[in-house]
């Protein structure tokens, strides 16, 4: 009897939130501050069509700093999903670190959130990728042993060299799907 494709682990696109999916306007703890960046819904749709789980991994130290609480982070994520759905975009799961301690294993650039998502969702880490706008995101990719795509329209960057430097998430996703993921 042939094996079912549903038993094959899916790869994941691990996505930073602020500066990659939404405008980075500081500590975002209010749903009304969610501003999705241009091209993001299409990029997420393309990743989904290519068989990737779309997993947000985000540091949210505003919780530890007392600026907002974890339910506020979850409300922001629900609003992001709502806005993305208007343009056929979606995220499959959200993982966040609410801590400020750099020794926490879930705080980027450490790979705890990625490892947790892989374990909980049965993902294929070897075929996965990280998209993010900061050195910590590229360090996360390196720590997880997967490619990192830097999404940075500003040009200035001091960190580990990414696989590709993209001006937008859509540019980075197209590069990855056309030239890397085969």
DSSP state of 36: B
**Whose CA is closest to 93, among 108, 113, 112, 109?**
113
| Tokens linked to 36 | 């999705």
Q: Is 120 exposed, middle or buried (0-12, 13-18, 19+ CB in 10 A)?
A: exposed
Sheet holding 148-151, edge to edge: 93-97, 53-59, 12-15, 129-132, 148-151, 164-166
Distance CA 151, CA 178 (A): 17
Q: How many residues does the chain have?
A: 182
| Tokens linked to 133 | 């706008």
**Interior angle at CA 135, CA 140 and CA 75, nearest 5:** 70
- Annotation marks residue 87 as catalytic: no
Which one of the listed residues 16, 53, 133, 137 is annotated catalytic? 16
- Annotation marks residue 16 as catalytic: yes
| Tokens linked to 130 | 């990280």
Residues annotated as catalytic are 16, 18
């Amino acid at each position: 009897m042939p094996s079912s494709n549903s038993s094959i682990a899916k790869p994941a696109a691990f996505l930073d939130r602020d500066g990659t999916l939404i405008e980075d306007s500081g500590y975002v703890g209010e749903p009304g501050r969610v501003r999705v960046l241009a091209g993001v819904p299409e990029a997420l749709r393309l990743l989904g069509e290519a068989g990737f789980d779309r997993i947000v991994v985000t540091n949210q130290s505003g919780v530890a700093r007392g600026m907002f609480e974890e339910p506020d982070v979850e409300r922001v994520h629900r609003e992001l999903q709502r806005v993305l759905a208007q343009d056929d975009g979606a995220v499959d799961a959200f993982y966040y670190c609410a801590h400020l301690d750099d020794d926490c294993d879930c705080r980027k650039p450490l790979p705890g959130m990625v490892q947790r998502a892989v374990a909980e969702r049965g993902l294929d880490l070897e075929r996965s990728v990280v998209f993010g706008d900061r050195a910590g995101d590229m360090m996360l990719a390196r720590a997880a042993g997967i490619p990192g795509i830097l999404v940075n329209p500003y040009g200035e960057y001091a960190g580990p060299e990414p696989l590709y430097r993209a001006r937008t998430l859509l540019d980075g996703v197209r590069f990855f799907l056309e030239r890397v993921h085969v």
